[in-house]
Structure 1
Amino acid sequence: MASAPQNVQLPLFYKALEPLSSEAHANFKVREADSAPFVVDQHAVPVTVEEFPLVQRHMPIVFTLGDEAVPIALMGMNEGVNVFFDENGRLLDGTIYLPAYIRRYPYLLAKLRPEAQELSLCFDPTTETLGAFEDGIPLFADGKPTEIVTNILSFNESFEEAGVRTGNFMNDLKEMGLLMDGEITIQPEGAEQPFVYRGFQMVNEEKLADLRGDQLRKIHKNGMLPLIYAHLFSLSLMRDVFGRQMAQGKMPKPEIALQ
């Protein structure tokens, strides 16, 4: 039996990690989940560049602060608020695109040891969708992974590959100096003070327009430009998310930072 990953800083949603094993989990089955309680109080989730065209139709895409910035989809305008799920973790609108980061849970590819070269398929043992249940889809048969495990592994491998491409995209944005601190002010009708949101980064449209020569050719050739515009177009949805918060009675006091 493989040991649990060591010295792992757990990512968003995950409370623990355990490597999936045909020995330790021979009788485990997976149940179909009809809710995602782990996302109820999360206002933002990471997204990959492949998802930008789909995400930008439903949620604002912004970038976190700091040198290691990552793209995130805003599911609420304030910490602890998610306007797309109810209090039980059920999606309020089935037509909304659900980011792969959410769909990946409770699985994750991780190194079992810091010096390991390969990533192993792990899962969060606190999940209620995996266990030695009487019902559900078996993960192993005759000591071998079933089709569902193969599909889960494939999905996670694709997610990791998309993560690499997303990292390259972010490095290019940084090298070109295209990121700037973002701010949005929303003045609801009848409110005495506006709501001011900061704590995120966005693409500087003036610097984008000023790109010339090699840099401009680069973003045309490598496909960055459509992704950048998907991000910029999505920013108008901040007001839509804000409106959902108001309708759901989840508004904080004015002048509260986004993060």
Structure 2
Amino acid sequence: MATAPQQQPLPLFYQDLQPLSSQLHGEFRARPVDRAPFLVHQHAVPVTVEEFPILQRFMPIVFSMGEDPVPLALMGLNEGVNVFFDDEGKLIEQNFYVPAYIRRYPYMLARLRQDSDELSLCFDPTSDAIGPGEEGEKLFGEDGQPSEATKGILQFAEQFERAGQNTGLFVKELADLDLLMDGEVSIQPEGAAQPFVYRGFRMIDEQKLNDLRGDQLRKMMQNGMLPLIFAHLFSLGQMREIFGRQVQQGKMPAPQLVS
């Protein structure tokens, strides 16, 4: 029997991980779901650079703190706040781009053995989106071969993996050019005595970007980095939009004092 790849901490949202097998899961189906309870108190989700152009229209794109920054889309400005999904995990409005990291769940590619680079399609068995029963698309045919649904899931997972690799290269280039700085956004609501100050993320340093040499900027334009950087910078204007949604939904904490 294949063993689950649990040698290291599970990724965000995943409570368990098992390799998908025709022997063990021959009767499993991909079930339709209309809600994502795991998103109710999630204010940020990892995203890939391929998503920047469309994401900038809906959510701020920032970078996580630490030695290996990860691009994040903010669905709320405070821990535990998500302004796009209700208390049951249902999308509040249809005109919204759902990041690929969310759409990939409960599936993902993972290494079953630490001494091998081979990736296998795995799933979170605690999810309601997969399991035995009569509802949904079968994951395997009578011959034990992957169904068209499984092939589509695998293809999406492979695309996400490649996008993740491209994202890693993008962030590494930003780090090599020393273009990331600690971010801070201060929002002063009308009538409030003190502004709300948000920190704990990284962002592009526009001054350092402007100070780059011409050959560096030309290279970034040719390899596609520059449009992605501008998408990130433009997206920061969504901070106030998210803030307004939090106010409207009554999800505001007490004002934070400027230090």
TM-score (norm. length: structure 2): 0.97
Which residues of 2 match residues 28-177 of structure 1 at below 5 A? Answer: 28-141=28-141, 142-177=143-178
CA contact (8 A) 1:84 1:93 kept: yes
- Contact 1:111/1:117 (8 A) holds in 2: yes
Secondary structure in 2 aligned to 1:24? helix
Give, in whole Å, the separation in 2 of the partners of 1:135 and 1:222: 45
Q: After superposition, give the CA deviation of every residue in 1:214-256 in whole Å (9 maximum; x if it has no partner).
A: 3222211111000000000000100000000000000011228
Supply the distance in 2 between the matched residues of 1:38 and 1:177 (Cα, whole angstroms). 35
Q: Is the 8 A contact 1:173 1:179 kept in 2?
A: yes
| Aligned equivalents of 1:157, 1:29: Cα separation in 2 | 20
In structure 1, what is the equivalent of residue 183 of structure 2?
182
The alignment covers a number of residue pairs equal to: 257
Q: In the alignment, residue 197 of structure 2 is paired with which amino acid?
A: V
Q: Which runs of 5+ in 1 are unaligned?
A: none
Q: 1:6 Cα shift?
A: 3.5
Instruction: Give the share of equivalent positions with the same residue, in percent.
Output: 63
Structure 2 contact 195–257 (Cα < 8 Å) conserved: no
Q: Structure 1 residue 26 and structure 2 residue 48: aligned?
A: no
Q: What amino acid is aligned across from residue 206 of structure 2 in structure 1? A: E
Asked if 1:202 corresponds to 2:198, the answer is no
Match of 1:254 in 2: 255
Letter in 2 for 1:238: M
Q: Which residue of 2 aligns with 1:241?
A: 242
Amino acid at match of 2:46: P
Q: 1:135 deviation in Å?
A: 1.9
Q: What is the rounded CA distance, in whole Å, between the counterparts of 1:234 and 1:201 in structure 2?
A: 13
Give a deviation string over 1:130-150, Cα, whole Å, max 9, x none.
111122211111211100000
CA RMSD for the aligned pairs? 1.2
